[in-house]
Every structure is written in structure tokens, then in C-alpha cells.
């Protein structure tokens, strides 16, 4: 593959930039969920579109760049997004479609290199150092990835090319949407220093406020502060970390087999709920989803956590570690209900509930032994049979009886 001339979009133009020593790619799909929805609704192209709950509850999952021009962004409350952009078309999410496209995109990445580190359904790091002889230089590989994603799926992605994960991720953000930016090794400092200090990994709102009080507003400002001063103000670890990033030093490698730390799902109710039966029904639904994801990924977990958000947005979490690891929804659900009751919120209006499994390990490493006199429940085998039915007939092919009753109640209402 011949070297292609690449024009980057960012702080400084990069035309035919030298990508020597830049084997790290960060590929980020552009407005992923919204872009997938527009494949079926092309008449909405060029218009503000928000993916989220049409009822105004929950948060924005994705927004087209036309909506973003009004200040809408992911994770923003839907109520605020509707106020900022009342003319936007709101589309409810279709997670099955996003998962299907995500799998296809990841297949493209793995056809390039086994060194792929997914960090979300719509983005990943790639180390293409081992593919250079076969496919050409990094910028050409990045261009080929962008072309194949567009050809196969009809959506665009932005790619940052650099010598480290940190700089590659910043580069992909700078060239959005539908761009490619190479940051040559010798230009890393010039690329970083004009950026706001909030661009650094680890700089959240509080850290940014602390830095601004010190007169530090850009990465260049931070780079000129002695490391000892940063460590005194921010702590030894955070101060040293940010000082290194300000000069482009990031030793982290692309890790293709990063294990999941936790698996969870949460749901925002269409209206605040204080009925314990409805809440427990939702806890069951979420437990089923979490357990299915764990079985699909080959995980079991020991720690069950529930998230309970009141109508006033105050949130509490409760967790419990089980004696044995599990991937069985009924065991997760039973523990989630106990945690819900223990929280004392049975007659409190809730806006959101969530269930999460932590302390994960590979399923084949867990061999549960029955204690003397204990009977095998058969739940695991039943749920594995449900998995097979769902894969064949769809997500609602098999449901627990209480969830079926819940659907009937909703239809009658």
C-alpha cells in the first residue's frame, strides 16, 4: 500500500505529516448511535437529531453534530437537551442495531491487527506496529480503516495517529467529525501545549478549578510548573501523572485483552416510581440483562451492587459480596432485592435503578461445590436455555412470568 497524503484537522494543519514512530491509532465513530439511526432515516441527515427517551427522561445517548451546535451533548439530561434544541427530532435507542454495527466495526479492526483495545462500543485503540510491512505506514492504515467503515456501514469515524495512546485520543477528538490527524513525534509538544488543561486525562472539574486557581489554564502553562509544586497541590501521584502528560509522556501500551471490571445495566423510569412491586420487577429485568451479558462474555461475579436514584437526583448505592461467584439472574435478583429493602426506600419515589456485578472472574475458574444437603436449583441450566432461545427468536422470546405480567399491565394501562 503506497503512502497517502493525509490532511489533518486540528490546532495546526498536517499535510503529508511524518507518521514514523506513530503506531498507535485511536478510532472513534462519529455520533455513533445517531449515525446508525440515520441509516434508516436518511431524510433526517443535516438536521438536529437526539437519541434518547422521547418522554424527556434519562440522558442523551447520542446527538448529531447539528444538535451539538446548540450545546447538546452525550450524558446531558434529556429535559435540558430539549430546552436547548426544541426543534430536534428525538429517536428512542435501538441497542440491538448498535451492537450489530459495533461488532462489524471491531471485526475490521481485528482484520488489521490483533492488538485492539476496545474502550467502548464505538471506539478503540489499535497498535499497528506489527502490520506496517504488510499494509503500509500508520496513516495509510488509518485511511483504509476509515474507507472500509464507510463502505461497509455507511457511517464515518475519526482517527488519531500518534506515538502514544494519550496523544492519539486527543488527535481523534481534534479532527472530528470525519477526520484523520497525524501528530508526528517531533510535534507532540507543539500540539499539546495550546490545548486547555482540561484536555489532560485525569483533569476533572475539581482538578481544573484547582489548576485555574494556580493560574494554569493550558497544557503549556502546566508544563512550566515544577513537578514538586504540582505534587504538593494535587498529590504525588496526580501531580506526577499530569506533569508527564503535559510533555507527551505516556508509557501505557495497547492491551487487547483488558478484562471487564464490572458489568451493569440501569434504567430511568418514564415517571418517578414508589411502588415496590414495579421497582422489584425492574430489578429483575436488569438482573436478567446483567446475567445474560456475563454468560455471553464468559464471566461470573461475586459482588452485587444496586444503584437507587431518588426523584431529587440524590443517589445511593449498596453492595454485597456473595459466598460464591455466579452468573445466575435469580441469585443476582434476590440479592438486589435484599439491598433495595435494606436501603429503606420502599416507599420513596425513585427516578432510576441499576444493577451491577463486580469482582468478576472467568467462568471456567469458578467451580461451585454444593454443601451437604443442598439441592441444585437448576436456574443456571434454565437461563442458559433462555439464552439459546433469545439468540434464535429475539430478545422477548422468553421472559420470567413476572415480566410477562408487567408487560400485560403496561398494555392494559
Residues 6+ apart with CB under 8 A from 28: 122, 123, 157, 158, 159, 160, 169, 172, 173, 176
Task: Give the chain's domain count.
Answer: 3
Residues 6+ apart with CB under 8 A from 234: 207, 210, 242
d(CA 14, CA 181): 7
> Are residues 67 and 177 both part of a single domain?
yes
> Are residues 20 and 154 both part of a single domain?
yes
DSSP state of 3: P
Residue 232 lies in a domain: yes
Question: What pLDDT is recorded for position 368?
Answer: 46
Question: What pLDDT is recorded for position 372?
Answer: 37
d(CA 411, CA 285): 17
Domain end residue (candidates: 184, 205, 234): 184
> Are residues 124 and 31 both part of a single domain?
yes
What sign does the CA torsion over 151, 253, 3, 132 have? negative
d(CA 214, CA 246): 16
**CATH at residue 233:** 1.10.150.20
> Are residues 406 and 273 both part of a single domain?
yes
Among this protein's residues, is 148 annotated catalytic?
A: no
Domain coverage including residue 407: 262-412
Question: What pLDDT is recorded for position 238?
Answer: 85
Question: What pLDDT is recorded for position 411?
Answer: 47
Closest CA to 322 of 259, 288, 366: 366
Residue 257 lies in a domain: no
Q: Return the SS3 of 190.
A: helix
> Are residues 213 and 275 both part of a single domain?
no
Q: What is the mean pLDDT of each run of 10 residues along the chain (413 residues)?
A: 33 61 97 96 96 82 96 91 95 90 94 93 95 94 96 96 96 95 96 94 84 92 92 87 92 81 87 92 94 88 93 90 90 95 91 92 58 46 59 54 49 49
Closest CA to 176 of 148, 157, 149, 194: 157
Q: Is 28 annotated as a binding residue?
A: yes
Question: What pLDDT is recorded for position 320?
Answer: 93
Residue 253 lies in a domain: no
**What sections of 175-316 are H helices per DSSP?**
188-192, 205-213, 219-223, 227-234, 236-246, 276-297
d(CA 315, CA 332): 21
Global pTM reads 0.69
**CATH at residue 87:** 3.30.70.270
All three cell numbers of 408 = 400485560
> Are residues 136 and 219 both part of a single domain?
no
> Are residues 217 and 85 both part of a single domain?
no
Question: Of the listed 117, 123, 282, 331, which one is catalytic?
Answer: 123
All three cell numbers of 57 = 427522561
DSSP state of 41: -
> Are residues 312 and 401 both part of a single domain?
yes
188 contacts 248 by C-beta, under 8 angstroms: yes
> Are residues 219 and 311 both part of a single domain?
no
Question: What pLDDT is recorded for position 380?
Answer: 59
d(CA 47, CA 54): 17
Residue 226 lies in a domain: yes
Closest CA to 126 of 28, 36, 31, 259: 28
d(CA 380, CA 368): 12
> Are residues 21 and 158 both part of a single domain?
yes
**CATH at residue 401:** 3.30.1490.100
d(CA 160, CA 141): 12
Distance of CA 399 to the CA centre of its chain: 27
Amino acid at each position: 500500500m503506497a503512502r497517502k497524503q493525509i490532511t489533518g484537522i486540528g490546532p495546526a494543519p498536517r499535510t503529508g505529516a511524518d507518521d514514523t514512530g506513530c503506531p498507535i491509532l485511536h478510532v472513534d465513530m462519529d455520533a455513533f448511535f445517531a449515525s446508525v439511526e440515520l441509516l434508516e432515516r436518511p431524510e433526517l441527515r443535516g438536521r438536529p437529531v437526539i437519541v434518547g427517551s422521547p418522554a424527556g427522561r434519562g440522558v442523551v445517548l447520542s446527538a448529531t453534530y447539528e444538535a451539538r451546535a446548540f450545546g447538546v451533548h452525550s450524558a446531558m439530561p434529556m429535559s435540558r437537551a430539549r430546552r436547548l434544541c426544541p426543534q430536534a427530532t428525538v429517536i428512542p435507542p435501538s441497542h440491538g442495531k448498535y451492537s450489530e454495527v459495533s461488532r462489524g466495526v471491531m471485526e475490521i479492526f481485528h482484520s488489521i491487527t490483533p492488538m485492539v483495545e476496545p474502550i467502548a462500543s464505538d471506539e478503540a485503540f489499535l497498535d499497528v506496529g506489527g502490520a506496517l510491512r504488510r499494509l503500509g505506514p500508520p496513516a495509510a492504515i488509518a485511511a483504509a480503516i476509515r474507507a472500509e467503515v464507510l463502505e461497509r456501514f455507511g457511517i464515518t469515524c475519526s482517527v488519531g495517529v500518534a506515538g502514544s495512546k494519550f496523544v492519539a485520543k486527543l488527535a481523534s477528538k481534534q479532527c472530528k467529525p470525519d477526520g484523520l490527524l497525524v501528530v508526528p513525534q517531533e510535534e507532540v509538544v507543539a500540539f499539546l501545549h495550546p490545548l486547555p488543561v482540561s484536555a489532560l486525562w485525569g483533569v476533572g472539574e475539581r482538578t481544573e478549578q484547582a489548576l485555574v486557581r494556580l493560574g494554569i489554564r493550558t497544557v503549556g502553562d502546566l508544563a512550566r510548573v515544577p513537578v514538586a509544586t504540582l505534587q504538593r497541590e494535587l498529590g504525588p501521584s496526580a501531580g506526577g501523572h499530569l506533569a508527564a502528560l503535559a510533555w507527551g509522556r505516556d508509557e501505557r501500551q495497547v492491551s487487547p485483552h483488558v478484562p471487564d471490571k464490572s458489568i451493569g445495566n440501569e434504567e430511568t423510569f418514564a415517571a418517578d416510581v414508589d411502588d415496590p412491586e414495579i421497582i422489584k420487577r425492574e430489578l429483575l429485568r436488569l438482573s436478567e440483562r446483567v446475567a445474560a451479558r456475563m454468560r455471553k462474555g464468559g464471566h461470573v461475579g461475586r459482588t452485587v451492587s444496586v444503584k437507587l436514584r431518588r426523584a431529587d437526583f440524590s443517589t445511593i448505592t449498596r453492595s454485597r459480596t456473595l459466598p460464591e461467584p455466579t452468573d445466575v439472574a435469580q441469585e443476582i435478583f434476590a440479592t438486589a432485592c435484599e439491598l433495595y429493602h435494606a436501603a429503606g426506600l420502599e416507599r420513596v419515589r425513585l427516578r432510576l435503578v441499576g444493577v451491577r456485578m463486580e469482582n468478576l472472574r472467568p467462568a471456567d475458574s469458578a467451580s461451585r461445590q454444593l454443601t451437604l444437603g443442598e439441592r441444585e436449583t437448576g436456574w443456571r441450566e434454565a437461563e442458559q436455555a433462555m439464552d439459546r432461545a433469545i439468540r434464535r427468536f429475539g430478545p422477548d422470546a422468553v421472559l420470567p412470568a413476572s415480566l410477562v405480567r408487567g408487560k400485560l399491565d403496561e398494555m392494559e394501562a
